Amino acid sequence: MATQHAIGIDVGGTGIKGAIVDLATGALLSERRKVRTPDGGKPADILTAATELLETIGGDGDIEGLVLGVCFPAIVKRGRTLSAANISDEWIGLPAEELFEQSLGRDIHFVNDADAAGIAEMRFGAAKDVDGLVILTTLGTGIGSAFLYDGVLIPNTELGHLELDGDDAEHRAAYSAMEREELSWEQWSERLQRYYAHVEFLFSPDLFVVGGGVSKHQEHFLPRLDMKTPIVPAVHRNNAGIIGAAALALD
């Protein structure tokens, strides 16, 4: 059987990334292309930037026959964006999937960015062949989350917005909090301990997978956490959204 390929595009608050993905292995088959997310993150500007990005993917190769998945920093329900994280509030309530299809000139599969990362780790990474409940969290500007139960995605969990100590958990425990408040790894790890212990108590997962760019520095914080649940770094880090969006597009 021929290897199946698809395109994944990951829209973020600071950058929009995309590549062609080999869905047998999860490997990127093309150079990862990236454009800056337009200031303000308004719908028309992001749609234009994503369309320009798609034109650069694959170089001179023909990508017309490849399915396309797009992941996005919002709650996504039936193609509509019901929230907006680090982008314009104008996205809230829009038929975003339809708008991207019109702009890109093709059908797409549209999904939340953390859910896409979860799919990438479940099929090609740290959560592969794990039974029970896997909770993936991405530690970045905020905290994204994905629930994977016996290989099935339960979409649109928002564990960054759990209220903890009178505040959104992500405001104190995201990687951005460490940078903003100039915390040491030890100080930040204490906040992560509080956060993950709370999530562990609520959901009794079988595995935590920690993604986001900071996971490449996992030796500074994961060993400091005292959990009953195994907690491991993600394999695909900043490529996870691209890979997961592409995988879901082929489904």
Tens digit of each residue's pLDDT (9 = 90 or more) over 4-52: 999 999 999 889 999 999 999 999 999 999 999 999 999 999 999 999 9
Q: What is each CA distance from 99 to 20, 209, 219, in whole angstroms?
A: 22, 32, 41
DSSP string, 210-245: EESGGGGGGGGTGGG---SS-EEE-SSGGGHHHHHH
Provide the pairing of β-strand 5-11 with 67-72: parallel
What one-letter code names the amino acid at 28?
Answer: L
With a cut of 70, which residues of the chain have pLDDT below it? Answer: 1-3, 58-61
Tokens representing 128?
């592969």
Closest CA to 13 of 33, 44, 36: 36
Per-residue model confidence (pLDDT) at position 134: 98
Cβ distance 13 to 27 under 8 Å? no
Tens digit of each residue's pLDDT (9 = 90 or more) over 180-203: 999 999 999 999 999 999 999 999
Per-residue model confidence (pLDDT) at position 67: 94
Per-residue model confidence (pLDDT) at position 247: 97
CA pair distance 136, 205, nearest whole angstrom: 10
DSSP string, 81-114: E---SSS-GGGTTB-HHHHHHHHHTS--EEEEHH
CA pair distance 229, 205, nearest whole angstrom: 7
Domains of the chain plus CATH, in order, are: 5-115+239-250 (3.30.420.40), 129-234 (3.30.420.40)
